[in-house]
Amino acid sequence: MRLLTLALFVVLSGCANMEAMMPWVQAGAQTASAMGYDGGDKVANAVKQTLDISSTRAITALSAADGYSTAGYKIRFPAQVASMTSTLRQFGMGSYVDKVEGAMNNAAGQAAAEAAPLFKQAIAGMEVTDALGIVTGSSTAATEYFRSKTETSLRSKYESIVTAELKKTGFHDQYRTMIDVYNNLPIADKPSIDVESYVVDQGLNALYAHMAAEEALIRQDPVG
């Protein structure tokens, strides 16, 4: 164990960005001491604890009521249908647009909560080499790690929950009403989108983006 500890710190001390990593090492010692860890577990478990906090914050923020909007990730209709939503607002259908967008964001928020067990599983399966790769990697190394380990499974959960939530909230009736009104307008260009897939894509992108933002804060102040 002592040899492993020495090896870890030799690796760390040989890196060009040692100064930037020292807070992580210090956090590792403090966290490990508080939790009863020693030796080579220090750095790895400090990273695990920090990432657990980081991912929990991101999930909590987005899964809260109106979380996507509050956190700055409101899911709006894509650019290719901007002309449709703009036209509908001009014809007094703005409330339908707002309701549909609200349902989209609510569905994504419900799905975000499902990320917790998958993130915890990814953290639990993290090896010392994974932790060191995150510490010495790019500014979004942790987010990249989470995405590589969780996106496939999380996408499946998002798809199931988003579809169920949209159906439960009457989204399709609202969306169909909005589309029917638009289709009856004298407009040639009538764009269409796969709403469920769009919400899943936007929801996942926002979740990992929020995770990256939390990671940046951790790298600035791992102990805070």
Quick: pLDDT tens for 85-122. Answer: 888 888 887 888 888 899 899 999 999 998 899 889 88
Coil/strand/helix, residue 175: helix
Residue pair 68/109 in contact by the 8 Å Cβ criterion? yes
Which band of pLDDT confidence, cut at 50, 70 and 90, is reported for residue 206?
Answer: very high
Query: Can you give the pTM of this predicted structure?
Result: 0.75
pLDDT-based confidence at residue 208 (cuts at 50, 70, 90) = very high
What pLDDT score was predicted for residue 152? 93
Q: Which residue has the tokens 């604890």?
A: 49
Tell me the pLDDT band of 7, cut-offs 50, 70 and 90.
Answer: very low
Under the banding of pLDDT at 50, 70 and 90, the label for residue 134 is confident
- For residue 19, the Cα-to-chain-centroid distance in whole angstroms is 29
Taking Cα atoms as reference points, which of 45, 104, 71, 30 lies closest to residue 211? 71
Summarize the confidence of residues 198-208 as an average pLDDT: 94
pLDDT tens column, 12-40: 444 444 454 445 455 544 544 444 444 45
Q: What share of the chain is helix, strand, coil (3-state, %, to 5)?
A: 80, 0, 20
Q: How far is Cα of residue 64 from the mean position of the Cα atoms in its chain?
A: 13
